[in-house]
Amino acid sequence: MVYIALLPGRIQVSARIAPAPPPYPAPVQSQLDRLMPPEIEPLRLFTTLARDPRLFERFMKGGLLDRGHLSLRQREIVIDRVTAACGSEYEWGVHAAFFADRAGLDDAALASIVHGGPDDPCWDEVDRLLIRLCDSLHRTCDVEDELWIALSDHFSPEALIETVMLAGQYRMVSYVCNALRLQPETYALRFPAA
């Protein structure tokens, strides 16, 4: 048996709960067909949630990957920073593989998201604010007034609500991926070396 060390104190042998096997119920299959490119198998996260069509449906209805108040780059900075802070290499790796290039996140940005900070040279002013927001929410489950005021100079009230909701959603996704010990997708990126 091969053991893969992920985080200190955590050894991964296999997923704790096996994904649902196909065929999936029609509503689940329809959603998978809509979400996944035809040549890519559904994410293990999705097929594991598909064990319970109710949980699958509720999870899918809570998504914020549509065109909202944030740019693709802004959205992916928030998702990648939150999932990295939570140690969720599974979810970070999927997002980095699917969206990093389109979001303009190069290798330096991806390394900074995992190991660096908002003052790294790869970030502009707005990127820095988003990273600080994610770090604040992760650390305190709140946002300091000074940071909120700075964010308000760049984002509408609706965008700020969406950003906080997005960070919270991906903290929950990280909990699920980590606790279930989901195995990385074959095409997913791995955390860069420190």
Q: What is the pLDDT of residues 90-148, one digit of tens each?
A: 999 999 999 999 999 999 999 999 999 999 999 999 999 999 999 999 999 999 999 99
Kindly state whether residue 190 falls inside one of the protein's structural domains: no
DSSP string, 111-139: HHHHH--TTSTT--HHHHHHHHHHHHHHH
Number of structural domains (the chain) is 2
Kindly state whether residue 5 falls inside one of the protein's structural domains: no
The whole domain housing 26 covers 21-61
Kindly state whether residue 185 falls inside one of the protein's structural domains: no
* pLDDT, position 10: 56
What pTM, to 2 d.p., does this model score?
0.91
Cis peptide bond N-terminal to 23, omega within 30: yes
Kindly state whether residue 8 falls inside one of the protein's structural domains: no
Kindly state whether residue 124 falls inside one of the protein's structural domains: yes
Question: Same domain, yes or no, for 78 and 167?
Answer: yes
CB-based contacts of 133-142 (< 8 A; 24+ apart in sequence)? 133/78, 133/163, 133/164, 133/167, 134/77, 134/78, 134/81, 134/82, 134/85, 134/167, 135/81, 135/85, 137/82, 137/164, 137/167, 137/168, 137/171, 138/82, 138/85, 138/86, 138/167, 138/171
